[in-house]
Structure 1
Amino acid sequence: MIELNAEDFSCALPLLAGIKQKVLPWAICEGINPGRVFVDRRENPQMVLLWSPVGYYCLAGDPAQAKDLTGISRVLAEIFVPASQATGETGFILIPSQVGWKEHLPTLLPGREIIEIYRRPFAFDPARFAAQGNWRERIPKGFTLRAMDATLAGKVGVLSSWASIDNFLANGLGLALLDGD
């Protein structure tokens, strides 16, 4: 596996087309969020591994075409895991692009307990939101809903997954429900 420079990350985007958890891998490849990208080859890559500093790894490409499972395993064990540990992470979540990767997990992660979890992506539905009526009335007494600013962003730790607070404020979004100040 070959590590790409940030200016080459976009070559991995076609391999991410089928991944259900798109936000983080696309943000890394587009240079919005920090991360590392490894591919099986520079020209027309068929496999990609992405690392994020918050312990999310993505594996994309056609598992039936996987030729270098040892190389993928080596990047996971010798590069990704130590890099995550250096940022304080004690575990990781590997997000495969296709269910066919499941049969390769014992080879890719030898000696590790594999726990399958499920995440469900959500899409904002304006009509469903509007049907909720005046949501402001349901905010508990003493609480306030505030848009994320630089101070709040620093308090909640956005720097673990963003290059800077300014980068988050320019490219991210967030709200905080505050109890008091």
Structure 2
Amino acid sequence: MYELQRNEYSKIRHLIKDIPTNPVINGVIDGHNRGRIYVDEHQIPSAAMLWAKNEMFYLIGNPNNKAFNSSVEKLIINKIKTEAISIGDDCFNLELYPYKGWEPMINFIFTNKLCIGERVPFEFDYNEYVRKTVDLNLTVPEHYQIEKIDRKLIKMDGEGIIEQEVLKFWETIDTFLEKGIGTAVINEGKIIGTCLSVFVSGTDFEIGINTYQTEHRGKGLATAMANRFIQICIERGGTPYWKTENFRKDSIAIANKLGFRQLNNYYVFYLPFHQFHA
């Protein structure tokens, strides 16, 4: 197994040409977003494991390389686990491309038994967005404001919440401001929620949304942030992408409110890093 350098990430593009558009994978390959890529062959890889930090791991390509497969769990235990926990990425989450090829190999690759979960993908439909939001009350309660994230707002954020959130996914603030999109909700001068393009490739923008304190939830703030995000995305000629876990009912509800068409759930594998043992 070999780790590619950032300027070599494009070596795995041929492995993803037949999978649906994925701003997370492409954002890492493009070098915008934080991640690492490990491959079976340095020059012309046939299999890869891509780590999109604070988001997801992906096994991609040929699932039948025994030498590569036998190295995956060792790499996670001996190297990735410590780094992931140190940056707050506390759970190994794994998607498979192609799923039917990799799924039978999971029990051979991992001696630590992975749990199985479901993710809910969405596809943005502009016409549905217009239809559903025309009568949707997107005003926020008094004392709250929705603002576009720019350099001025980041400097105003005395607690550094925006910068901390951006740098979970982006190499630099400057790259985010150049390539990404973000909105924030403000209450009494403090940032209490963000909606960010956590991964970006070209005009494809993967949404990540968070309201940080429970006392501010249930007020329509996340929906309003996401709506402003979508407006900015459309103005830039972009396409928003939304995926979430099947247990995140609020996230699913917001996506459905804002013109995303819910697609079929698919399986993912996961295990907290502290449960990985040699």
TM-score for the superposition, normalised by structure 1: 0.85
Residues 65-121 of structure 1: CA deviation (Å, up to 9, x unaligned): 333210223223323222211212221211211222122222222123322222314
**Which residue of the partner structure matches residue 3 of structure 1?**
3
1:28 pairs with 2:28:
yes
Deviation at 1:48, TM superposition (A): 0.7
**Which residue of the partner structure matches residue 126 of structure 2?**
126
Name the CA distance, whole Å, in 2 between partners of 1:146 and 1:133.
21
Name the CA distance, whole Å, in 2 between partners of 1:139 and 1:79.
47
Percent identity over the alignment? 21
Q: Structure 1 residues 171 and 88 mapped into 2: Cα distance closer, same or farther (>3 Å)?
A: same
Contact 1:57 1:94 in 2 (8 A): yes
Read off the aligned partner of 2:118 and give its amino acid letter: I
Deviation at 1:32, TM superposition (A): 0.7
Q: Structure 1 residues 127 and 55 mapped into 2: Cα distance closer, same or farther (>3 Å)?
A: closer
Contact 2:34 2:168 in 1 (8 A): no
| Alignment partner of 2:179 out of 151, 168, 171 | 171
Q: Structure 1 residues 170 and 119 mapped into 2: Cα distance closer, same or farther (>3 Å)?
A: same
**Which residue of the partner structure matches residue 89 of structure 2?**
89
1:102 pairs with 2:110:
no
Worse-matched range after superposition: 106-115 or 47-56: 106-115
**Which residue of the partner structure matches residue 244 of structure 2?**
none
Q: Structure 1 residues 134 and 13 mapped into 2: Cα distance closer, same or farther (>3 Å)?
A: same
Report the RMSD for the aligned CA atoms in angstroms: 2.3
1:148 pairs with 2:149:
yes
Identify unmatched segments of 5+ residues in structure 1: none
Name the CA distance, whole Å, in 2 between partners of 1:83 and 1:147.
32
1:159 pairs with 2:158:
no
Deviation at 1:59, TM superposition (A): 1.1
Name the CA distance, whole Å, in 2 between partners of 1:87 and 1:112.
24
Q: Secondary structure at the match of 1:129?
A: helix
Q: Structure 1 residues 61 and 8 mapped into 2: Cα distance closer, same or farther (>3 Å)?
A: same
Residues 122-171 of structure 1: CA deviation (Å, up to 9, x unaligned): 33x22222222165x5223223221122416x414111111111111111
Q: Structure 1 residues 109 and 66 mapped into 2: Cα distance closer, same or farther (>3 Å)?
A: same
Residues 30-89 of structure 1: CA deviation (Å, up to 9, x unaligned): 1111211111102221101112331521110032x3332102232233232222112122
Name the CA distance, whole Å, in 1 between partners of 2:135 and 2:177.
27
Name the CA distance, whole Å, in 1 between partners of 2:176 and 2:90.
24
Name the CA distance, whole Å, in 1 between partners of 2:77 and 2:33.
22
Deviation at 1:180, TM superposition (A): 4.3
Q: Structure 1 residues 134 and 144 mapped into 2: Cα distance closer, same or farther (>3 Å)?
A: farther
Worse-matched range after superposition: 91-100 or 73-82: 73-82
Read off the aligned partner of 2:14 and give its amino acid letter: P
Read off the aligned partner of 2:99 and give its amino acid letter: V
**Which residue of the partner structure matches residue 113 of structure 2?**
112
Q: Secondary structure at the match of 1:138?
A: coil
**Which residue of the partner structure matches residue 48 of structure 1?**
48
Name the CA distance, whole Å, in 1 between partners of 2:55 and 2:106.
17
Read off the aligned partner of 1:122 and give its amino acid letter: E
Q: How many residue pairs are counted as aligned between the two chains?
A: 178
**Which residue of the partner structure matches residue 70 of structure 1?**
70
Contact 1:77 1:109 in 2 (8 A): no
Q: Which has the higher contact order (CA 8 A, sep 6+)?
A: 2
Read off the aligned partner of 2:89 and give its amino acid letter: E
